[in-house]
């Protein structure tokens, strides 16, 4: 047990920063190729952007409102802000040191060169001048600034150039200022003609080079690049909004003018120019981040994926077809024969898309119902739903408008779907709907059959290639009945009821988890084997954490594979690991030993108060023996990882898992190889089965 008066929990925000540090360590890892390291630098920077907009933004508002309530780790909002700013300053310095000292020089040697703007060839100079004249000068409009007045509205996370000027004819040489926003001025990374390799400069370098052309009659004394992060932690006031869509549109407008909670500036900015900038925004001193090098590293993600340069990239792992899916057979027939389980992106997301596309074109399909939280910009699933409605199928979609930073896209999709005849529900008042479920109702010779897809990730073809997630497809009647009840509760006035198999947050998911842990506790107290093996993205919930502490004390062995935030402190019988690798670990899988009769679940929810109390989530039991055993095997492979796994220490830091004397086990690589081998074996069996018999001599 922890010492008296010692908090049992880590602070949520500092735990998240530890997660982002693990991402940054992938960029620093010499085992990774250079473009892979660049990718992880971009991810680290992108993660920080969202963290500041949401988590720091929320703390900023709490501090502004004078709140002093401590979190479970004993931190007030002010104490959290102070620690966050200090910790993130160090992290950002590490990020840019890695790029400046290691990645950028190595890429220059690998023929991906950042050209010096003042040492270009005549051909390159000509190309840049044409770009300036035809694309930058007509688009970028300088805005005059005045001392003591607030800078006009600047785009959140946008790059800007602040210019200090002197009028050429003035005697007193008093400074005047202007700001130039570059967010709508084309690509930031500008490729140059080169004899070999890939050479580029950055858009802001071109703007700086030709800055004087925007200000005839003035001398340009100084230019400095800067970027602001605004508070984006605004939520729709559902009791006050006339309708949810209008309320979300108001939130999007509100974000455009949120307070500046972080200011990134070039490290070479003069004290005078920085003082002018800070007073004009305004922003406090600890929120100012002088950057030695390139601002907004997430823009370099595109460079990490340029064509060619395979020697600087990781080996491609194309998603494999599932050995359980026959290419030319209807998905309905295959699901009717057996439950199907896929682990993306090792296995392709294609069967899920096929399932919906085939339903949209099938004369026997009566209805399609699904929840969409996030989807891709060119979604094949959205297109299939439109076709289904146009074909006369009853299509109902709950489009969650409150999906943070996807609100505008979802509003657009909702309107498009409605125009095609889809019945669109805009979410449930007071909750976010985060469940991952699609149900197809089909008329068959034997009667009405409900085919269901349950997942741990979004219906997003793009992220399905990057996120580790589970798909489970079944026509189990009890699960189908539960799915109908779930949609009736979401879309109508039906009250959520007790389901046969499914657990739903906020109704009974927490209670079900507590009950299952209690069963393991009772087994352990009797001296019998007891095990809880959990893979989720975050563990913040105090009630569940206390139950895990109780279980550990009773002798239950607890393995927690938590990718991101973990506020629970490890202790005897509790091991916490985190895997950071080329794919984002996103699957939620829970295994209870349950007296040797394993209970295994997949879920849309992490173990956080927001998921268990404020979102509509689903936890699905996987009772098919083959699928259940496969999920347990996946959990065990992740547990064996000694290449990409990190162990949480009692002081809140993480260290790489190293098992001396053991072979290196990289769980993602093992899972990918298994997917390749399984598909190859299935294809060999198919060829053997259908190969014509040779005639006897």
Please calculate the CA angle 310-312-316 and round it to the nearest 5 degrees: 50
pLDDT band at 683 (very low <50, low <70, confident <90, very high): confident
Task: Look at residue 697 in the predicted model and tell me its pLDDT.
Answer: 40
Q: How far is CA 582 from the centre of its chain?
A: 13
- The CATH number of 12-312 is 3.30.1840.10
Task: Look at residue 169 in the predicted model and tell me its pLDDT.
Answer: 77
Task: Look at residue 237 in the predicted model and tell me its pLDDT.
Answer: 52
Task: Look at residue 453 in the predicted model and tell me its pLDDT.
Answer: 98
Per-residue pLDDT at 388 exceeds 50? yes
User: Residue 50 burial (CB < 10 Å; 0-12/13-18/19+)?
Assistant: middle
Please calculate the CA angle 24-25-29 and round it to the nearest 5 degrees: 125
Task: Look at residue 690 in the predicted model and tell me its pLDDT.
Answer: 59
CATH T-level assignment (fold) for domain 331-501: Endonuclease; Chain A (3.30.870)
Kindly state the helix (H) or strand (E) to which residue 276 belongs, with its residue range. Answer: helix 271-280
Other C-beta atoms lying within 10 Å of the C-beta of residue 110: 16
Closest-CA residue to 262 (of 98, 92, 41): 92
* CB 679, CB 687: distance < 8 Å: no
Other C-beta atoms lying within 10 Å of the C-beta of residue 65: 8
Q: Which residue has the tokens 């993480």?
A: 654
* Domain boundaries of the chain, sorted by first residue: 12-312, 331-501, 504-683
Q: Which residue has the tokens 């910790």?
A: 87
Tell me phi and psi for residue 560, to 5 degrees: -115, 115
Q: Which residues contact 613 (CB under 8 A, 6 or more apart)?
A: 505, 506, 510
Q: How far is CA 85 from the centre of its chain?
A: 22
Q: Is 434 a catalytic residue?
A: yes
Residues 433-448: tens digit of each pLDDT:
999 999 999 999 999 9
pLDDT band at 691 (very low <50, low <70, confident <90, very high): low
Task: Look at residue 1 in the predicted model and tell me its pLDDT.
Answer: 37
- C-alpha 106/C-alpha 195 separation (Å) is 19
**What is the sign of the dihedral through the CA atoms of 511, 517, 523 and 525?**
negative
Task: Look at residue 151 in the predicted model and tell me its pLDDT.
Answer: 81
Lowest mean pLDDT among 87-101, 256-270, 286-300, 326-340: 256-270
Task: Look at residue 495 in the predicted model and tell me its pLDDT.
Answer: 63
Same fold, 331-501 and 504-683: yes
Residues 605-647: tens digit of each pLDDT:
999 999 999 999 999 999 999 999 999 999 999 999 999 999 9
Per-residue pLDDT at 494 exceeds 80? no
Which one from 96, 434, 586, 638 is the annotated catalytic residue? Answer: 434
Per-residue pLDDT at 184 exceeds 80? no
- 22 in the Ramachandran plot: left (φ > 0), alpha (ψ -120 to 50) or beta? alpha
Above pLDDT 90, what percent of the chain?
77
> What separation in angstroms does the CA of 487 have from each of 356, 379, 440, 482?
17, 22, 12, 9
Lowest mean pLDDT among 282-291, 308-317, 360-369, 402-411: 402-411
- The mean per-residue pLDDT over the stretch 223-235 comes to 85
- The mean per-residue pLDDT over the stretch 465-483 comes to 97
Task: Look at residue 257 in the predicted model and tell me its pLDDT.
Answer: 64
Q: 605 is written with which tokens?
A: 């929810």
Per-residue pLDDT at 165 exceeds 90? yes
- The mean per-residue pLDDT over the stretch 72-84 comes to 93
Strand, helix or coil for residue 203: helix
Kindly state the helix (H) or strand (E) to which residue 609 belongs, with its residue range. Answer: helix 609-613
Task: Look at residue 175 in the predicted model and tell me its pLDDT.
Answer: 86
Instruction: Give the HSE-up count for residue 566: Cα atoms under 13 Å, Cβ half-sphere.
Output: 31
Q: Name the CATH architecture for the domain at 504-683.
A: 2-Layer Sandwich (3.30)
Residues 232-271: tens digit of each pLDDT:
875 545 444 445 455 545 554 565 667 889 999 999 999 9
- The mean per-residue pLDDT over the stretch 219-227 comes to 95
- C-alpha 356/C-alpha 473 separation (Å) is 12
Which ranges in 52-115 belong to alpha helices (H)?
57-64, 77-98, 104-109
Residues 666-675: tens digit of each pLDDT:
999 999 999 9
Q: 394 is written with which tokens?
A: 């009853």
Residue-averaged pLDDT of the chain: 91
Task: Look at residue 189 in the predicted model and tell me its pLDDT.
Answer: 95
Q: Which residues contact 399 (CB under 8 A, 6 or more apart)?
A: 372, 410, 413, 414, 417, 424, 425, 426, 427
């Amino acid at each position: 047990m922890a010492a008296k008066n010692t908090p049992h929990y880590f602070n949520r925000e500092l735990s998240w920063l530890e997660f982002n540090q693990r991402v940054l360590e992938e960029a620093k890892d010499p085992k990774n190729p250079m473009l892979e390291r660049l990718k992880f630098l971009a991810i680290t920077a992108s993660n920080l952007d969202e963290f500041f907009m949401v988590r720091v933004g929320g703390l900023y508002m709490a501090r502004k409102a004078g709140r002093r309530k401590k979190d479970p780790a004993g931190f007030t909002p002010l104490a959290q802000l102070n620690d966050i700013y200090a910790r993130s300053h160090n992290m950002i310095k590490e990020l840019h040191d890695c790029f400046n000292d290691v990645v950028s020089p190595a890429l220059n040697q690998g023929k991906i060169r950042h050209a010096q703007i003042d040492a270009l060839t005549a051909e390159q100079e000509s190309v840049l001048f044409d770009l300036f004249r035809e694309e930058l000068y007509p688009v970028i409009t300088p805005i005059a600034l005045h001392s003591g007045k607030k800078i006009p509205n600047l785009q959140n996370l946008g790059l800007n150039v602040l210019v200090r000027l002197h009028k050429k004819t003035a005697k007193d040489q008093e400074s005047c200022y202007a700001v130039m926003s570059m967010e709508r001025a084309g690509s930031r990374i500008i490729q140059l003609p080169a004899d070999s390799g890939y050479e580029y400069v950055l858009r802001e370098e071109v703007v700086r080079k030709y800055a004087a052309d925007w200000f005839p009659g003035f001398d340009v004394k100084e230019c400095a690049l800067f970027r602001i992060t605004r508070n984006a932690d605004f939520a729709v006031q559902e009791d006050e909004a006339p309708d949810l869509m209008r309320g979300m549109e108001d939130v999007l407008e509100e974000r455009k003018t949120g307070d500046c909670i972080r200011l990134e500036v070039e490290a070479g900015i003069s004290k005078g120019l920085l003082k002018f900038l800070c007073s004009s925004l305004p922003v406090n001193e600890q929120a100012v981040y002088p950057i030695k090098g390139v601002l907004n590293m997430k823009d370099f993600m595109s460079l990490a994926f340029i064509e060619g340069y395979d020697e600087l990239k990781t080996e491609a792992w194309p998603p494999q077809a599932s050995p359980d899916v026959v290419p030319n057979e209807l998905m309905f027939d295959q699901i009717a024969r057996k439950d199907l389980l896929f682990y993306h992106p090792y296995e392709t997301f294609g069967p899920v898309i096929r399932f919906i596309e085939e339903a949209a074109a099938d004369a026997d399909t009566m209805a399609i119902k699904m929840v969409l939280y996030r989807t891709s910009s060119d979604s094949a699933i959205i297109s299939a739903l439109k076709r289904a409605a146009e074909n006369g199928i009853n299509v109902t979609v709950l489009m969650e408008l409150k999906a943070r930073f996807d609100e505008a896209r979802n509003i657009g999709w909702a309107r498009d779907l409605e125009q095609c005849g889809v019945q669109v529900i805009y979410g449930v008042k007071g909750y976010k709907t985060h469940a991952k479920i699609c149900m197809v109702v089909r008329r068959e010779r034997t009667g009405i059959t409900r085919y269901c897809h349950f997942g741990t990730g979004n219906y997003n073809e793009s992220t399905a290639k990057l996120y580790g997630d589970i798909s489970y497809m079944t026509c189990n009647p009890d699960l189908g009945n539960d799915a109908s009840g779930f949609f009736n509760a979401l879309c109508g006035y039906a009250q959520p009821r007790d389901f046969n198999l499914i657990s739903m947050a906020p109704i009974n998911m927490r209670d079900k988890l507590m009950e299952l842990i209690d069963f393991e506790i009772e087994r352990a107290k009797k001296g019998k084997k007891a095990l809880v093996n959990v893979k989720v993205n975050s563990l913040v919930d105090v009630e569940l954490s206390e139950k895990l502490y109780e279980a550990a004390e009773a002798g239950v062995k607890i393995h927690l594979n938590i990718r991101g935030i973990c506020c629970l402190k490890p202790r005897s019988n509790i091991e916490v690991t985190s895997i950071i690798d080329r794919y984002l670990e996103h699957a939620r899988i829970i295994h209870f030993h349950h007296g040797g009769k394993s209970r295994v679940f997949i879920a849309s929810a992490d173990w956080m108060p927001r998921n268990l109390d404020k979102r509509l989530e689903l936890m699905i039991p996987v009772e098919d023996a083959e699928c259940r055993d496969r999920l347990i095997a996946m959990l065990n492979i992740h547990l064996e990882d000694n290449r990409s796994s990190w162990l949480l220490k009692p002081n809140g830091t993480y260290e790489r898992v190293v098992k001396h004397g053991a072979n290196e086990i990289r769980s993602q690589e093992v899972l990918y190889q298994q997917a390749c081998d399984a598909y190859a074996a299935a294809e060999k069996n198919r060829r053997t089965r259908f190969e014509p018999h040779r005639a006897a001599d």
